[in-house]
Amino acid sequence: MPVTIVTGGTFGLGQSITTDLAARGHHVVAFGLSTPQVSSTAQGFDTLRAEIESKGLANRVDVLDADVSDAAAVQRVVDHTLKRYGRIDGLVNNAAIGPLGTVLDTAPTLFDRIFAVNVRGTYLASRGVIPHMAAVRGGSIVNIGSGAGYGKPNMAAYASSKGAILALTMAMAYDHFHDHIRVNMAIPGGGGIVSGMSVGRVGGDEDLFKRRNVAGTVAGRPANGQDLANAVAFLLSDEAATISGTVIDVGCFAHQGGPILPKQ
């Protein structure tokens, strides 16, 4: 069975990725924080534990409480994974926070926290697993990006952090090419995707969020966690053995200035 770490894998889109990978036969080490995070509805591990129990996947998922921005905490997750399973085949860098705001109304402390989670967290988790992947000449890292990474209004800090993740993805793909470590990005979104972050931006009212008039995707509906999980699973799989430095846009055109406006 492949062994995969999922940062922020305990709630929302990360929970979808965790449970999908477990159902596909991965041993998953999912970690996040049990305490509420700024501008997000993510809280606790109860929903993940209930889902994996109901689906008979509890023996395939380890749930850990750890802060992705804390180097020692991330190392503990890596050490736990190696001690329990003996290897690390995949990493999904999903943990992120995304409060809205311009540079004028984003406090310096909040700006620093966004970069600590979104960018430093991706760096720390990648730095923790790459030596072990390189030692066995292979592995796959999937970074979860955002259409905001190409610039969107009222998201100055978040957009900047996701732009950094795009650049970091491509840099790592180059740097670890000869280690046979694949590094790619999957972008959710396209308008209407439900996540702890997106719902948190409207005060936690999921019904209000769903009532917004959005075009969604070419499927005629908003993307969902399963859509993102499908793309992540593909990028982690041997079917993507030759793919590195690639962006898969699950949300349709999010990386081209989208989302597409609703049809008039």
Q: In angstroms, rounded to a whole number, what is the distance separating the alpha carbons of residues 236 and 112?
A: 30
> In terms of Cα–Cα distance, which of 226, 222, 232, 225 is closest to 254?
222
CB-CB neighbours of 22 under 10 Å = 24
Kindly name the residue from 85, 123, 150, 158 that is annotated as catalytic.
158
Residue among 37, 35, 8, 1 at smallest CA distance from 143? 8
Tell me the CB-side half-sphere exposure of residue 228, using CA atoms within 13 A.
31
CA-based Rg of the chain, rounded to a whole angstrom?
Answer: 17
HSE-up of residue 244 (Cα within 13 Å, Cβ side): 22
If DSSP codes are grouped into helix, strand and coil, which group holds residue 135?
Answer: helix
To the query of whether residue 85 is one of the catalytic residues in this protein, the response is no
Beta strands in the chain (DSSP E): 3-7, 27-32, 61-65, 90-93, 139-144, 181-187, 247-249
Q: Are 255 and 150 in contact (CB under 8 A)?
A: yes
Beta bridge partners of 64: 31
The catalytic residues are 158
